Structure 1
């Protein structure tokens, strides 16, 4: 039976409620010094604010080595009533010390992903519910190919979905060629993130035709120039018959972006983005993108 693997256990996909399909409660990178998401009380406040707007679930895409704080996720989920899905996986090489990457060379990377999906993250006992990897700007470097092949191997062992950070929204077709073509991952097990950052309707339609999931996440301080084009991109896909392949998320990656610190944060997805999309494609379509689609995208017949 298919289930979404949350930090409190496997749940029926129909029980997720309104889902932020791509966000971060905890996140830390040397590329964002001083903006780390580390504070548990701030994470709790963000979930409470999201819940107050009608939110029911958050999929955290924070991968290995980026401050996931897995042990803190179950109590936060219980205290706020918001289901949380954790991730395994690996981001771009620039987010890690070379020593960390060297320790993961060879077969160990896929084994790590499988272990975190089945046994738990570290000693926390919290099992990941997806694998997060990343591409580069209009290309896949050796690191991206290594991590994606390991993700594919872990998918074949567990059934877990693979969520992909697309750098500035680019490289979608190269990712699909590698994961689905070379590595044999079914397209419906692949989620492409950040497509709002590159509002290329031709590429969007080609990617959607493969059967993968397309995630539109934001707003983002660093990529706000394309935020206003997201409703048009979503409308074009919905009108082409791909409304059942779309996901929406907030992607809060810095402390300044949290609503409790003066930014838009998770609640903004429901408070402002949702009504803007309702005006573009209608309430029924947006409801499906935020409830039915996430349940289908992240539900797995776990092995």
Structure 2
């Protein structure tokens, strides 16, 4: 039976409720100095605010060595009643010290598999997805290395592969590599940040290939997000790809949390959802927030 691997154990996909398919409770990177998500109390408050808005599940895409705080996630999930899915994987090279990347050479796929099957470190929390990243309109050697390891881990476990697309670009390059060269089934690939590069032709080709398309990180004025998202999502729905769509918040800095004055996780349900309902209708938006994440993240785990 296909199940979603949460920090409290495997659950049936229909148990998720309304799902934020891409977000972060904890995140640290040298690329975001002074803006780290490290405060467990703030994470609890943010999850509680999401729950109060009707939310049922948050999928954390924070990968290896970026401050995931996996050991804190089960208690936060229990306290708030929100399912949480943790991630393994590796982001772009800029987020890591060179020495750490050298140490991972030759054993990256094994690391991913261990975190998916045995648990993250000593926490006992098993990851439910593999997160990797492309570059701006291209795949560099680091991206090819991490995606090759992700494909190996997918073949060993069945886990979905979630991809950060830099400014929403390179979707078709990613599919050519992961699905064409490395044999990952397209429906096991989730392409993130497509709202940041609203090329409707690329979106449609990615959907036709069979991948899930994530529109995440709303309310960012420097990206084509809120005001362009309904058009992009409606174009895909009208073409018959409503079942391939996912929505997420992608809260990456402390100031972006709702409890610190930003839009945060609740904005997905209080801001994005009603806007999309006007474009797509309530029934389809409900399915995008519930049924689609269940299919995207549910796996017959090996």
Band of TM-score, shorter chain: over 0.9
Question: 3-state DSSP class of the match of 1:248?
Answer: strand
Q: Give the C-alpha shift of residue 300 in structure 1.
A: 0.2
Question: 3-state DSSP class of the match of 1:214?
Answer: strand
Please name the residue that 2:116 is paired with: 117
Q: Does 1:100 align with 2:100?
A: yes
- 1:102-251 → structure 2 map (5 Å cutoff): 102-106=102-106, 108-221=107-220, 223-251=222-250
- 1:277-292 → structure 2 map (5 Å cutoff): 277-292=276-291
Q: Give the C-alpha shift of residue 228 in structure 1.
A: 1.0
Q: Is the 8 A contact 2:5 2:128 kept in 1?
A: yes
Q: Give the C-alpha shift of residue 226 in structure 1.
A: 3.5
Q: Is the 8 A contact 2:109 2:150 kept in 1?
A: yes
Q: Is the 8 A contact 2:218 2:225 kept in 1?
A: no
Question: 3-state DSSP class of the match of 1:191?
Answer: strand
Question: 3-state DSSP class of the match of 1:20?
Answer: strand
Distance 2:152 2:96 in 1: 22
Question: 3-state DSSP class of the match of 1:265?
Answer: coil
Q: CA offsets, 1:105-151, max 9 Å, x none?
A: 01x00000000000000000000000000000000000000000000
Q: Give the C-alpha shift of residue 222 in structure 1.
A: 6.3
Distance 1:205 1:279 in 2: 21
Distance 2:288 2:157 in 1: 25
Q: CA offsets, 1:49-108, max 9 Å, x none?
A: 0000000000000000100000000000000000000000000000000011000001x0
Q: Is the 8 A contact 1:218 1:227 kept in 2?
A: no
Q: Give the C-alpha shift of residue 219 in structure 1.
A: 1.6
- Note closer, same or farther for the CA distance 1:136–1:275 as it changes in structure 2 (3 Å cut): same
Q: Give the C-alpha shift of residue 220 in structure 1.
A: 4.7
Distance 1:285 1:243 in 2: 7
Q: Is the 8 A contact 1:85 1:129 kept in 2?
A: yes
Q: Is the 8 A contact 1:196 1:229 kept in 2?
A: yes
Distance 1:182 1:90 in 2: 20
4+ aligned runs moved over 6 Å, structure 1: none
Gaps of 5+ in 1: none
Distance 2:41 2:229 in 1: 32
Q: What is the TM-score of this pair, normalised by structure 1?
A: 0.99
Q: Is the 8 A contact 1:197 1:223 kept in 2?
A: no
Q: Is the 8 A contact 1:197 1:227 kept in 2?
A: no
Q: Does 1:45 align with 2:45?
A: yes
Q: Give the C-alpha shift of residue 221 in structure 1.
A: 3.4
Distance 2:90 2:217 in 1: 21
Please name the residue that 1:58 is paired with: 58
Question: 3-state DSSP class of the match of 2:202?
Answer: helix
Please name the residue that 1:255 is paired with: 254
Q: Is the 8 A contact 1:257 1:263 kept in 2?
A: yes
Q: Count matched residues.
A: 302
Question: 3-state DSSP class of the match of 1:124?
Answer: coil
Q: Give the C-alpha shift of residue 218 in structure 1.
A: 1.9
Question: 3-state DSSP class of the match of 2:54?
Answer: coil
Q: Give the C-alpha shift of residue 225 in structure 1.
A: 4.0
Q: Is the 8 A contact 2:56 2:83 kept in 1?
A: yes
Q: Is the 8 A contact 1:154 1:160 kept in 2?
A: yes
